[in-house]
Amino acid sequence: MLNLIKLEMQKYKLKGTILGGVIAILIFMGSLIAVNYDEPLKSYKEAYLLTNSASFIFIIFASVLLSQFIINEYKNKTVTVLFMYPLSRKKLLTAKMSIVVLFTFVFSLLSRVVIFTGFYIFNQFAQIVDEELTNSMLVNYGAGFLSGAVMTSCISLVPLYFGMRKYSASATIVSAVILMAVLNIGSGTEFTLNSIVYIPAALAVTGVLVALLTLRNVEGKDVL
């Protein structure tokens, strides 16, 4: 499986996507700091909530990777050649989806940590939030960042369902944009849909089910 993942990563050069992810993190960190000039945050919890909302941009990054790794392969019939190799179709698709999930997890977690840390450093000079960041807060936020990244990586598979229906890359990406927008409803407040843990958890389970359904159908489905 690891060899398949390595081969897929070599086949699809990810340098541009990784660079785009890094730029997105820096832009969001700058935006969070800039927001404080007009509407200063009142607590680190607000920064934490905004940081979580920003990380959902990587659902869109994931949809682009899904389109490149899977949807376009089916649409252009190139997956037929891959399926001629003495490899399990399930293993091949699992390797492709694993790359997407891993990318989303890493950058979702990294974005949360980097953006929140950047805001904390900025606040040490600007003194916008008059609150001490305690060890218990760090533990709670860290656990939230980790669990949030896991759920985001699973949610990133949901657009695969829409893309596989007609092998449409645009449907994959549009569904990801809608998904991100829905999760960010109420962004900047304590009552975002994302803050209702059952909603992202349910979507995460849905993403896992979409992946399992795709893998179940791949062996018997003729791509020609």
**Interval 79-87 mean pLDDT:** 61
Give the pLDDT confidence score for residue 83 in this predicted structure.
Answer: 57
pLDDT tens, residue by residue, 10-57: 777 788 889 999 999 999 888 877 877 667 778 888 888 888 877 888
Which tens digit of pLDDT belongs to each residue from 187-212? Answer: 555 566 777 788 889 999 999 999 99
Query: Residue 84 pLDDT > 70, yes or no?
Result: no
| 141: Cβ contacts below 8 Å, ≥ 6 apart | 44, 48, 116
Within-domain flag for 224: no
The pTM score is: 0.88
Q: List, in sequence order, the alpha helices (H) in the chain.
A: 2-11, 15-38, 44-54, 57-66, 72-75, 78-83, 89-126, 135-155, 158-166, 169-183, 198-218
169 is in which domain, residue-wise? 2-218
Report the C-alpha gap between 185 and 196 in whole angstroms. 11
Confidence of residue 80 (pLDDT cuts 50, 70, 90): low
Mean of pLDDT values over 130-149:
91
Say which residue, 49 or 79, is predicted with more confidence.
49
- Whether pLDDT at 127 is above 90: no
Q: How many domains does the chain have?
A: 1
Average pLDDT of 117-141?
88
Is 223 a residue whose pLDDT tops 50? no
**Residue range 57-74, pLDDT digits in tens:** 899 999 999 998 889 888
Instruction: With a cut of 50, say whether residue 7 has pLDDT above it.
Output: yes
Whether residue 71 lies inside any domain: the answer is yes
Which has more pLDDT, 49 or 223? 49
Per residue in 142-166, pLDDT (tens digit) is: 999 999 999 999 999 999 999 998 8
Q: CA 107 → CA 22, 95, 184, distances in Å?
A: 8, 18, 18
| pLDDT of 189 | 54
- Angle at the Cα of 149 (from 89 to 47), degrees rounded to 5? 155
Q: What is the pLDDT of residue 222?
A: 46
CB 98 within 8 A of CB 2: no
Q: How many CB atoms lie within 10 A of CB 133?
A: 15
Q: Is the pLDDT of residue 85 over 80?
A: no
Q: With respect to residue 75, please indicate whether it lies within any of the assigned structural domains.
A: yes
Domain membership flag for residue 223: no
